[in-house]
Amino acid sequence: MDIQISNVFETRRGKRCFNTGNYKYSEFRVLKSGDLLFRCTNKKCTSRVTVNKSITRVINTSNEHNHEAHTDQNNPVETRNMLLQNPQLGYALLQALVRIKIVDPETARTMLHPAHKVPPPLRISNATATTSRFQPISQTPNNGMQ
Ligand SMILES: [Zn+2]
């Protein structure tokens, strides 16, 4: 038994999870050996896997799953990747979440990239020769009024 783990991710609560063979496991506890025990995320399931410290491979499995495997349709890793590759889809999803009031607009705003900050234009004092030299040439309405 030597299953490689390549898609470890963290839940919002900071628990590490991974998928293997279409089953999802979340961090359960640390064993005396330093290895980690992960349990199936299905609460009614007793399936457990022991993984090495760095969570790169499954060392041991215990108990069979008593439910269907996850399909690709509810694979969070797939979904995450899809959203990362299609930012406009993520934006649309966020907008939808605001519309149906799952996420409030203020929270949604903090998830977006801040507006691109443009540095203010350089101020040249009136005394500078450059400005005074060019002012008479400009034909803006304001200048005409004066
Ligand atoms: Zn299970």
> What's the longest Cα–Cα distance across the chain?
88
Q: Calculate how far, in angstroms, residue 20's C-alpha sits from the geometric centre of ligand 1.
A: 11
Residue 66's pLDDT is 93
The CA-to-CA distance between both ends of the chain, in Å, stands at 87
Residue 138's pLDDT is 52
Read off the amino acid at residue 95: Q
Residue 71's pLDDT is 62
Residue 6's pLDDT is 83
Q: Calculate how far, in angstroms, residue 51's C-alpha sits from the geometric centre of ligand 1.
A: 16
DSSP-derived secondary structure letter, 127: T
Residue 83's pLDDT is 86
Q: Calculate how far, in angstroms, residue 41's C-alpha sits from the geometric centre of ligand 1.
A: 7
Residue with the two structure tokens 């797939």? 78
Q: Calculate how far, in angstroms, residue 78's C-alpha sits from the geometric centre of ligand 1.
A: 19
CB atoms within 10 A of CB 67: 11
Residues 54, 57: Cα–Cα separation, whole Å = 8
Kindly give the confidence (pLDDT) of every residue in the chain, 146 residues in length, as a single tens digit, with 9 standing for 90 and above.
578 898 899 988 889 999 887 789 999 999 999 999 999 999 999 999 999 999 999 999 999 999 988 665 566 777 888 888 888 988 898 999 999 998 899 888 888 877 777 777 777 666 555 555 555 555 555 555 55
Residue 126's pLDDT is 62
Residue 48's pLDDT is 96
Residues 115, 22: Cα–Cα separation, whole Å = 39
Residues 140, 87: Cα–Cα separation, whole Å = 42
**DSSP codes, 100-125:** TTSS-HHHHHHHSPPPPPPPPPPP--
Q: Calculate how far, in angstroms, residue 18's C-alpha sits from the geometric centre of ligand 1.
A: 13
